[in-house]
A and B are shown apart, each in its own frame.
Chain A
Amino acid sequence: MTFTRRETLAIGLGGVAALALPMQAAAMVDDKIAAFTGGADVGEGGLTLTAPEIAENGNTVPVEVSAPGAVSILLLAAGNPNPDVCTFNFGPLAGAQAASTRIRLARTQEVVAVAKMADGSFVRAAQEVKVTIGGCGG
């Protein structure tokens, strides 16, 4: 099997694009987190993100976030075409800084949650979710 010059170039470009896509998504997540935190340091701990390890249907994946003492929690899906998922802002009457919902995941990826605490600090948690059937349509 021989490649023409044109085919070789195309393969090379395709390879670069395939490598760049996940990196671009990760950069988008970092940008979103920076926009949420205002560039502050993000610590660990104090935030629980509960998601299934394997989601058979990416159209509806149950996730739960819980961060006692948080004022808001940002949820991101690193592998979606648009990583934003939702932002929970807790009011003065919130019984617990926890909420659960159902989200869409396009493919196997990491779900990231960042919580803003009452004292202005930020913590993050992430979990890998394996998706059998993607949920963003085609």
Chain B
Amino acid sequence: MADNVKPRVKVPKSASAGEVITLKTLISHPMESGQRKNKAGEVIPRSIINRFTCDFNGQNVIDVTLEPAISTNPYFEFQSQVPEAGEFTFTWYDDDGSVYTETKAISVG
């Protein structure tokens, strides 16, 4: 279990129906690549987030497969349609089996 994993997402509070909005997400995670060695020369085991998904009211927006070449604190910026008011669900899957989720509601007006 990586320590202090904290997801952060930026979603506008409201949008007009059918509008395309930009979402920004960041999760604090060391993303240990499995390539580095410690002072004793032993390889530090890989520990990364291997998958990230974003859904809106159950419909998929983006599904990203991550490899160790993604930087520490993985950051993603992408765009989504907003057909109606609802909730964005962001999910990160850790190598160790942990799942981190964050939800943000958006209103249409």
| Chain A interface residues toward B at CB < 8 A | 59-61, 77, 80-82, 84-96, 98-105, 135-138
Q: Are B33 and A104 in contact (CB under 8 A)?
A: yes
Which of B37, B64, B71, B76 interacts with A104 by CB under 8 Å?
B71
Chain B residue with minimal CB distance to A57? B71
Q: How many residues on the B side are at the interface (Cβ–Cβ under 8 A)?
A: 32
For the complex formed, measure the closest distance between the CB of A57 and the CB atoms of chain B, giving whole angstroms.
10
Q: Are A101 and B60 in contact (CB under 8 A)?
A: no
A77→B71 CA distance, assembly (Å):
13
Apart from A59-B71, A96-B78, list 15 A-B contacts with CB within 8 A: A60-B72, A84-B67, A85-B70, A86-B66, A91-B55, A92-B60, A95-B61, A95-B79, A96-B79, A99-B64, A99-B77, A101-B74, A103-B70, A104-B71, A138-B37
